[in-house]
Structure formats: C-alpha cells, structure tokens
C-alpha cells in the first residue's frame, strides 16, 4: 500500500489513511465472509438464522477500530460482523459457529449470532433488542469496583431496539452512573419491515441523548471517514470521564432482516437516496480517488479476503459436530470463570 502522511485531504482531523485502510480491511472481510455465509445458507448448509450487516459495515468497523482490544468491552449485535472482526474475532470463530463445529467458541451449541468471547471483552449476544446495554453497564461497573476506570464499553442497537424498555432503563442507568459507555445506534430505516415513521416520533433519534443526559452525535453511516471521526471522539470522551455517548448512524440496511427475508418492503425511492449508498463501494472509491491504494492493490486485498474466507469455511466443514453425550453442558460464562485465574469482567 502507498504510505501516507498523518493528515490527508478527504479525511477528518486526526484520522489517518492507515486507520481508514484498517476500517476498510474489516469491512471487506466481513462482506466477503457474509456473502459466503448467505450462499451456504441458501444451499441448505447452515442450520438456524443468518443475519447480515450489508450496508452497515463502515459504522460497525469504525466503532471497533476505535476501541482497545484486550482492555475495552464490545458487545456486538446481529449486524456487526465487521465490528467483531475489527475487535479481534477470528474468522474461524464465525465459520465454526455457523457450521456447527464443536471447535467453535460456543462449541456448536448456540445460535449463530449468539457467539462471544467474554474473556476477550466480547460478551455473547443475548438479544438484538436492548438487552446488551445493561450487560455492558454491569461489566463497566465491575471494572470500576476493581479500580479500573479507563475501560470503555461499547455496544450497538438498531432503530427498533431504541423503542424498548431495556434500552431506556440501561441508558438512564448509564447516565446516572456516568459510565464510560458508547451506544452506536444503526438507524437503518427499518426494524424488520417496520419503517422508522412507525417506530419513533422525535425528529432525530440523537435528540434522545439530551433526555438521558448523554452526549449525542449524528453521522452519515455510509461514510467510513466520518464514522471513524465520530467514534474516535465518542470513545475518547467516554474514556476521559464524560459519561455515556450516543452515536446515531444514518444508513440503510442493504438486505433483508435475515437471509430468509428478501426485504421487498424496502421501497426503491429510499434505495436511491444517499442513505442507500453502499459504504464498501464508497470507501473503495475514496481510496482510489485519493491514491491511497491502486486498483491492483485493492484487487489483491479482495483476493486475500476471499482466500481467508474459503480456508476458514473449509476448515469448519472438516471439524466434528458436538456430541451430546460427551458434552458437559456447562454455560460458557461459568466455564470461562473456572478456567481463568484473573477474571477481568
Ligand atoms: C421480544 C422480541 N420480539 C421480536 C424479536 C424479533 N426481532 C429481532 S430483531 C428485530 C427487529 C430489530 O430492528 P432494529 O432494532 O431496528 O434492528 P435491525 O434489525 O434493523 O438491525 C425483531 C423484530 C425478538 N428477537 N425479540
């Protein structure tokens, strides 16, 4: 790749071309992997649901690359494949979980998107509808009780999830406790088939931040550079004692709710607005326009991503399935607590 100076035209202050490239790398890897997972689902090779983050990769990856792996907490939801990878999730973890391998982090027992690595600061997802915010609040509070004050906890949610009681209770608690929490709201215009005008009546979801006593930001969720800038700020503010941060990313889900849903209720009129732009294509074009990478360098990245996905899927397909008779049926969290000397969450 072309080496780049620290500040470049086309990038907000403080965002380097290296960081943009890092975000792009995870977006590309996630898109490549999810395309493969969707194909496997449609050919009947995957049991259970498949939920894709198509169109949300920039928002998701940008949040996670701004976090400190091994120190911070990241609770991803169903559209956060890019963020998971940017926070260190191994591609094999994903492939093994979807393909029911006993060698996966959930030992082939749990639903595909309910995987995690709590020992690495990534709790397994309970629900898409707000449950993870209070889990992250609890993990942050536990760290504080141990005298660790500079851990940031981040999680994501959709526009629909912001209407739940769980969302409200957790945000209120985080603000009262002034927790270093970052909540990324991916406003992808639909909760399953429910459009945002049936979801909330405020002008912009970010207006809710004031009501909770949190700091709020609204960003173009299709623009990787803008997402990196806003999360860099929000994570820094959370880490330095400014309490919960709410970031609303405006974008469009470029697929159905899950691989079982064709998304035919999403009107063409919204697909042709700026919200409907493909963040991966935009980021790729930006790299070309600014000469941060050449066409052939990008093609090499794409080939490397395809190869990494192919190898992970092939490996997971060779792995054994779980054996119910040999299984201890121990919950993941207690297995981890028993196996580690110094739990950090
Ligand atoms: C109590 C409950 N009701 C319904 C569902 C099914 N469900 C899962 S996600 C979802 C929609 C969430 O929409 P949103 O929060 O906007 O997130 P998005 O899917 O757009 O990312 C629904 C209806 C569920 N998991 N739990």
How many structural domains comprise the chain? 1
Phi, psi of 249 (to 5 degrees): -100, 120
| Confidence bin at 343 (pLDDT 50/70/90) | very low
Percent of the chain past pLDDT 70, that is, above it, reads 93
Q: What count of residues does the chain have?
A: 345
Residue 338 pLDDT > 60, yes or no?
no
Contact present, 96 and 177 (Cβ < 8 Å): no
pLDDT tens digits, residue range 277-310?
Answer: 999 999 999 999 999 999 999 999 999 999 999 9
In a domain, 9, yes or no: no
- 151 is a domain residue: yes
pLDDT digits (tens, 9 = 90+) for 53-103: 999 999 999 999 999 999 999 999 999 999 999 999 999 999 999 999 999
**pLDDT at residue 110 greater than cutoff 90:** no
Task: Assess if residue 1 is contained within a domain.
Answer: no
12 within some domain: no
pLDDT tens digits, one per residue of 265-280: 999 999 999 999 999 9
Residue 82, domain member (yes or no) = yes
We report the CATH number of the domain holding residue 105 as: 3.40.50.970
* 89 in a structural domain: yes
Q: List, chain by chain if needed, residues with CB within 6 Å of any ligand 1 atom.
A: 79, 127-129, 158-161, 186, 188, 190-192, 253, 257
| Contact predicate 76/87, CB 8 Å | yes
Structural domain of residue 34, as residue ranges?
A: 17-339
With a CB cutoff of 8 Å and minimum separation 6, the contacts of 227 are 23, 58, 59, 62, 63, 219, 220, 221, 249
Alpha-helical (H) ranges within 2-90 are: 17-42, 57-65, 81-86
Which H helix or E strand runs over 156?
A: strand 153-158
79 Cα–ligand 1 center, Å: 11
- Domain presence at residue 345: no
Write down the pLDDT at residue 3. 47
Atom nearest to 199 CA in ligand 1: 16
pLDDT band per the 50, 70, 90 thresholds, residue 42: very high
Ligand 1: which atom is nearest the Cα of residue 79? 21
Residues 6+ apart with CB under 8 A from 324: none
Which atom from ligand 1 is nearest to the alpha carbon of 129?
A: 15
Instruction: For residue 78, report the distance from its CA to the centre of ligand 1, in Å.
Output: 10
In a domain, 34, yes or no: yes
Non-local (6+) Cβ contacts of 81 within 8 A are 30, 33, 34, 52, 53, 57, 60, 94
């Amino acid at each position: 790749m072309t080496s780049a100076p620290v500040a470049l035209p086309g990038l907000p202050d403080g965002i380097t071309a290296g960081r943009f490239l890092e975000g792009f790398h995870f977006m590309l890897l996630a898109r490549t992997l999810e395309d493969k997972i969707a194909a496997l689902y449609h050919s009947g090779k995957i049991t259970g649901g498949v939920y894709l983050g198509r169109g949300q990769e920039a928002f998701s990856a940008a949040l996670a690359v701004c976090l400190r792996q091994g120190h911070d907490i990241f609770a991803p939801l169903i559209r956060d494949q890019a963020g998971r990878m940017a926070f260190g999730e191994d591609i094999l973890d994903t492939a093994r979980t979807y393909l029911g391998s006993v060698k996966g982090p959930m030992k082939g027992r749990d639903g595909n998107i309910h995987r995690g690595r709590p020992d690495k600061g990534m709790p397994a997802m309970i629900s898409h509808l707000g449950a993870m915010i209070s889990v992250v609040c609890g993990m942050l509070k536990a760290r504080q009780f141990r005298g660790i004050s500079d851990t940031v906890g981040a999680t994501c949610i959709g526009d629909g999830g912001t209407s739940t009681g769980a969302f409200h209770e957790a945000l209120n608690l985080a603000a009262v406790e002034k927790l270093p929490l970052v909540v990324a709201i991916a406003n992808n215009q639909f909760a399953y088939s429910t459009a945002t005008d049936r979801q909330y009546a405020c002008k912009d979801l970010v207006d809710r931040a004031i009501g909770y006593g949190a700091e709020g930001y609204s960003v173009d969720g299709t623009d990787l550079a803008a997402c990196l800038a806003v999360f860099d700020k929000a994570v820094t503010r959370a880490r330095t004692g400014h309490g919960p941060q709410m970031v609303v990313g405006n974008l469009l889900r470029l697929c159905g709710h899950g691989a079982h849903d064709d998304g035919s209720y999403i009107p063409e009129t919204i697909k042709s607005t700026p919200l409907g732009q493909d963040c991966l294509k935009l980021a790729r074009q930006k790299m070309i326009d600014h000469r941060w990478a050449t066409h052939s360098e990008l093609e090499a990245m794409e080939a490397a991503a395809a190869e990494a996905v192919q190898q992970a899927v092939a490996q997971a397909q060779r792995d054994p399935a779980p054996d119910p008779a040999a299984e201890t049926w121990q919950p993941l969290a207690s297995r981890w607590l028993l196996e580690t000397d110094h739990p950090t969450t």
